[in-house]
Structure 1
Amino acid sequence: MRPDIIGNWTDPSAMEELGKFISQSLVFAVNGQRFELQTVEPSTTLLEFLRTQTRYTRAKFGCGEGGCGACVVLLATYDPLNEQVKEFAISSCLTLLCSINFCAITTTEGLGDSREGFHPIHERFSGFHASQCGFCTPGMCMSLFSALVNAEKKTERPLPPDGFSKLSVSEAEKAITGNLCRCTGCRPIVDACKSFAADVDLEDLGLNSFWRKGKHSSHIKKLPSYRSSFICTFPEFLKLEIKSFFNFISASQPDQPTKLNVECQKNCTIVSPATLVAGCWYRPSTVDILFKLLNSKEFHENMIKMVVGNTGSGVYKEVDLYDKFIDLRGFLNFLLLN
């Protein structure tokens, strides 16, 4: 973004020019399905949207504080510069919907179902008797799936035998440390997770419906087959939209008319989306732009919430008290990298 665009936030002409660099709607994907929202209440959480506006309702509302894991889903981001996708397990009860612009969400429904066929995670959770009431199971499945996806990216590890993953036993155990279950017990859940680990001793796994306990009776071929390429976590259409968006910004800069470059992401201030209720979600890309926002007339006499992980809302329950939301991740990520 050119300096004259961000130089005076109260200048109408500058704000009009800024509009060229603003995402006009909230665009994201859930289980490969595209969503585009023109109007969003900025305090809306991802979990609330999933359970009230989509058919993907298996993520549950438990504690509302990010402590039980019942609401866990997978969030994937795409870096158009390096052509890289990054996946994270997130608590959807804390994640504000406006913060997932140009992101892809995968819920347990996106892994598989009775019509399309269940994912090996589902089948192994069932076979190891790792679920009773099922309230917490969708979140546990997604926590494990996130660990599996990220383990496969570790190129320094050798290729695992068929049916296993690059996940280690210790990583499998850690994958669900943020998930609570009040009825099943830890052992069968951990066994289901460890069954994917290449360094597991199958004889150490507990009772299951795949084999009988006894010498030489357990065998990996008796487990539901697993391949790391089962699920696409970031759809191609969303990658193309992201590239198109940043190419448009780059083309608007006279010094670099068409090149997709890091300055696009570093200098572009995205207010996403511009048509939010009361226009109160902002994502500055630098500290200077943040202070220009805070000092502008538009922010005077307003209650402002700084959003990073939004964990505070699980404790203080003050979402209705804020008029303006500022997403700080745009420049915090850049500062951490540098």
Structure 2
Amino acid sequence: MGKEEAAAVESSTVVLAVNGKRYEAAGVDPSTSLLEFLRTQTPVRGGCGACVVLISKYDQATDEVTEYSASSCLTLLHSVDRCSVITSEGIGNTKDGYHPVQKRLAGFHASHCGFCTPGMCMSIFSTLVKADKAAGRPNPQAGFSKLTTSEAEKAVSGNLCRCTGYRPIVDACKSFASDVDLEDLGLNCFWKKGAEPAEVSKLPGYNSGAICTFPEFLKSEIKSALKQADDVPIAVSNDGWYHPKSIEELHRLFDSNWFDENSVKIVASNTGSGVYKDQDLYDKYIDIKGIPELSVINIGLP
């Protein structure tokens, strides 16, 4: 592949942090999902309903970490290279103690059969992390977050509960909201409704930022890797995973000799794999999440 065809080749090793611990995966098939890696290479197992994780990415240019929740069964491992992944076991467990989200879900009788609970925990935790980092919001009183009740109602909109117990689940999430009226929340084990006052001090305490979402060692590795790659014209991989950083680089990939529309799949979040079971048909993937122009929506006439 010539320079005009985007010639630089990166290491095929995927590096990521899982619950604060460093992991490497060398020579991994590009169709490998994050869930498959977690189940086979880490102590995490996560059944259906528990596959929701928090993924954090670091931008060296702005020195900022951004977080979002995702289904690990739909997330390709190569797409989280140099990312931090936190699972439900990472925010709280029997050995280290439970997180306030987990405690409040149990206290509001929101666990039901339990299959969906880990995923609910991670969606709520992700919503709290993003809300508490939002600029321009006043600091909440102790025990609450910067989350609003409106945001709380949408926090688990992407999760399914087959027990149809959304009311207590949403109540548990609302209990973190700075504008909630605790008296409006349903039955719980923290106070008897109508018999004693509802006070945030009776809820499991919550402090934002108690869990580090992106470890310092991974930031250092990213900074070091970027210094070594300053002269690289395009970021590609020798194991079938390509991640162009601009529209121009994407066009060069399309024009290169290796491109074959029958064996190459373009992916962003890869949610289509939940419907179309065609992972085995491709041996090359182009990840377009790194192209800024494809991650914005412009409304109105140019």
Q: Does 1:46 align with 2:34?
A: yes
Distance 1:61 1:271, change over 3 A: farther
Q: Does 1:270 align with 2:230?
A: no
Q: How large is the Cα RMSD of the aligned pairs?
A: 2.1
* Aligned-pair CA distance for 1:327: 0.8
The Cα offsets for residues 227-262 of structure 1, whole Å up to 9 and x where unpaired, read as 002100000000000000111123xx4xxxxxxxxx
Report the counterpart of residue 169 of structure 2 in structure 1: 189
- The DSSP-based 3-state class of the residue aligned with 1:52 is helix
Q: Distance in 2 between matches of 1:152 and 1:246?
A: 29
Q: Distance in 1 between matches of 2:160 and 2:276?
A: 22
Selected match of 2:277 from 293, 297, 317: 317
Report the counterpart of residue 304 of structure 1 in structure 2: 264
* Aligned-pair CA distance for 1:192: 0.6
Selected match of 1:29 from 3, 14, 17: 17
Report the counterpart of residue 45 of structure 2 in structure 1: 57
The 5 Å alignment of 1:126-205 reads 126-183=106-163, 185-205=165-185
Report the counterpart of residue 72 of structure 2 in structure 1: 92
Selected match of 1:224 from 183, 192, 204: 204
- The DSSP-based 3-state class of the residue aligned with 2:73 is coil
* Aligned-pair CA distance for 1:182: 1.0
Selected match of 1:120 from 100, 103, 107: 100
The answer to whether the Cα contact below 8 Å between 1:107 and 1:142 also exists between their aligned partners in 2 is: yes
The Cα offsets for residues 23-42 of structure 1, whole Å up to 9 and x where unpaired, read as 44111111101111111111
Query: Relative to total residues, which structure has the larger helix share, 1 or 2?
Result: 1
* Aligned-pair CA distance for 1:90: 1.0
* Aligned-pair CA distance for 1:184: 5.4
Greater Cα shift, 158-167 or 178-187: 178-187
* Aligned residue type for 1:200: V
Q: Which runs of 5+ in 1 are unaligned?
A: 10-14, 63-69, 254-266
* Aligned-pair CA distance for 1:115: 1.3
Q: Which runs of 5+ in 2 are unaligned?
A: none
Distance 1:221 1:81, change over 3 A: same
The Cα offsets for residues 235-294 of structure 1, whole Å up to 9 and x where unpaired, read as 0000000000111123xx4xxxxxxxxxxxxx752224x3xxxx2111122233223323
The answer to whether the Cα contact below 8 Å between 1:132 and 1:184 also exists between their aligned partners in 2 is: no
Report the counterpart of residue 330 of structure 1 in structure 2: 290
Report the counterpart of residue 104 of structure 1 in structure 2: 84
Higher CA-based Rg: 1
Greater Cα shift, 143-152 or 286-295: 286-295
- The DSSP-based 3-state class of the residue aligned with 1:203 is helix
* Aligned residue type for 1:31: N
* Aligned residue type for 2:186: G
Q: Distance in 2 between matches of 1:333 and 1:288?
A: 11
Q: Distance in 2 between matches of 1:61 and 1:115?
A: 23
- The DSSP-based 3-state class of the residue aligned with 1:297 is coil
The 5 Å alignment of 1:72-87 reads 72-87=52-67
Q: Does 1:244 align with 2:216?
A: no
> If the length of structure 1 is used for normalisation, what is the TM-score?
0.82
Distance 1:146 1:335, change over 3 A: closer
